[in-house]
Amino acid sequence: MKELTRNSIDPVPSAIPGSEGISNPAWTSLRERLRRSKFRTRFKLGEAESAYLETRGLETIHLHARDFILKRLAPAQPQNEGKQTPMKGHPVFIAQHATATCCRSCLKKWHRIPEGKQLTAKQIQYVVSVIMRWIAASC
């Protein structure tokens, strides 16, 4: 995993599991927007999350990301909307806050994904890919 991320150069997307849901230009422009947000840039992987990532690897983290999104974000009316994503404890949670994929309200505001409807398979893939690209660029 380390060789993917040295020097903070973006890793090759094909090397990141689950990263194919967002195009390179779309990711570049999203990242620029996120960088201008004081709130979003506050989120960084802590020691615990980095260690977890190192141990489990990106493949496993990808499965967790899919699972979290399916359960916490995909329903039309997610439980605890706005508070369904903890602020720490898993690399995916941090990535969600950093990329504004933490709740349906943020998904609407930042990613133009409407609220009140179940996420489509394509939207789920998009959200997961945003998370995985952020994680791969941050580890």
* Interaction site with Zn ion (CB under 5 A): 102-103, 106
Shortest CB 106 distance to Zn ion, Å: 3
Burial environment of residue 31 by CB neighbours within 10 A (0 to 12, 13 to 18, 19 or more): middle
What residue is closest to Zn ion based on CB?
106
**Residue 16 or residue 130: which is nearer to Zn ion going by CB?**
130
Shortest CB 105 distance to Zn ion, Å: 6
DSSP-assigned letters across all residues of 80-135 = TTTS-S-SSSSHHHHHHHHTT-SSHHHHHHHH-PPSSSPPPHHHHHHHHHHHHHHH
Shortest CB 103 distance to Zn ion, Å: 3
**Residue 102 or residue 128: which is nearer to Zn ion going by CB?**
102
Shortest CB 59 distance to Zn ion, Å: 26
**Residue 102 or residue 136: which is nearer to Zn ion going by CB?**
102
CB atoms within 10 A of CB 61: 25
> What residue type is assigned to position 78 of the chain?
P
**Residue 103 or residue 127: which is nearer to Zn ion going by CB?**
103
